[in-house]
């Protein structure tokens, strides 16, 4: 059956803006990995996890209360991420990095798919669930039992190297993200509900300094009415079309 082509009419002003863009910043959220089969935070959790909300599991308090439960949740997500493949949206963003004079991808995702799709100018604002930390003593990672979530240096619990709700973001990552937002002339918000802070305020930093703000998201968000351009739909369908119209990036994007 012929694949349903997404028909998107990109205004000439947007094509021109991207052609002339010198500094492009892209912020992504869980929605960019949805077409790789990874559930987003807004998706109702399934099975055993259906009675938990991510916000309730992704906290220090939840981990202290039940480290095995939280470690199991991340182990399942890690296995899903390793089985998943980057999708056309990830690949288009990695291609955009090569086309823009200056570029930075800031992701809220911890699944590691952007790096696997070739993105190099990348800030993982909320860490990476494929890395672990010794929760009790911050021991070095040479003796970690990832299966059971145990640090074999001290016998303590391992935690994933991600930023939980209520935790500060890594100062270096947040600093780089803020600086890039201040300096860019085009700011993309892709696959995020724009509800988690401080990531959700980066677009305002960019907009206040005159950047053009472009949203690509399946559903409306608080950003939708405020963005200069907003495209409601799947990133894996819209981004390749945009790349072709702006940069004629045919060969790299055929998947």
**Is residue 229 a contact point for ligand BV8 (CB under 6 A)?**
no
Note whether 215 binds ligand BV8 by CB under 6 A. no
Does the footprint of ligand BV8 cover residue 193 (CB under 6 A)?
Answer: yes
117 binds ligand BV8 (CB under 6 A): no
- 90 as an active site residue: the answer is no
DSSP assignments along 5-65, one per residue: PPP----HHHHHHHHH-SEEEEEE-GGGGGGGTPPPSSSPP-GGGGG--HHHHSSHHHHHH
Q: Is 174 near ligand BV8 (CB under 6 A)?
A: no
For 64, 132, 135, 153, 171, the CA distances from 158, given in Å and listed in that order, are: 11, 6, 5, 11, 22
Closest CA to 16 of 247, 217, 237, 207: 247
- Which member of 38, 115, 151, 162 binds ligand BV8 (CB under 6 A)? 162
Among 113, 184, 235, 249, contact with ligand BV8 (rule: CB under 6 A): 235
Question: 37 or 155, CB closer to ligand BV8?
Answer: 37
Stretch that binds ligand BV8, among 7-15, 16-24, 35-43, 206-214 (CB under 6 A): 35-43
Cis before residue 198, ω within 30 degrees of 0? yes
Binding region for ligand BV8 (CB under 6 A): 29-31, 34-35, 40-42, 55, 58, 108, 110, 126, 162-169, 191-193, 195-199, 217-219, 221, 234-236
């Amino acid at each position: 059956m012929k694949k349903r082509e997404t028909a998107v009419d990109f205004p000439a002003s947007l094509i021109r803006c991207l052609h002339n863009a010198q500094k492009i910043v892209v912020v992504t959220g869980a929605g960019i990995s949805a077409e790789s089969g990874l559930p987003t935070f807004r998706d109702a959790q399934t099975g055993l996890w259906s009675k938990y909300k991510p916000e309730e599991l992704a906290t220090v308090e939840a981990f202290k209360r039940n480290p095995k439960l939280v470690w199991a949740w991340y182990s399942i997500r890690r296995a899903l991420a390793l089985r998943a493949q980057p999708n056309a949206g990830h690949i288009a963003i990695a291609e955009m990095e090569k086309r823009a004079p200056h570029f930075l991808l800031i992701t809220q995702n911890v699944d590691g798919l952007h790096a696997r799709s070739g993105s190099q100018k990348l800030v993982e604002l909320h860490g990476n669930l494929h890395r672990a930390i010794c929760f009790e003593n911050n021991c070095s990672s040479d003796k970690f039992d990832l299966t059971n979530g145990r640090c074999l240096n001290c016998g303590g619990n391992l935690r994933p190297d991600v930023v939980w709700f209520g935790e500060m973001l890594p100062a270096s990552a947040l600093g780089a993200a803020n600086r890039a937002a201040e300096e860019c002339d085009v700011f993309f918000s892709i696959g995020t509900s724009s509800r988690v802070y401080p990531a959700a305020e980066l677009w305002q930093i960019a907009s206040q300094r005159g950047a053009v703000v472009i949203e690509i998201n399946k559903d409306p968000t608080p950003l939708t009415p405020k963005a200069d351009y907003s495209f409601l739909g799947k990133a894996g369908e819209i981004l390749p079309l945009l790349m072709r119209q702006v940069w004629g990036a045919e060969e790299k994007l055929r998947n």
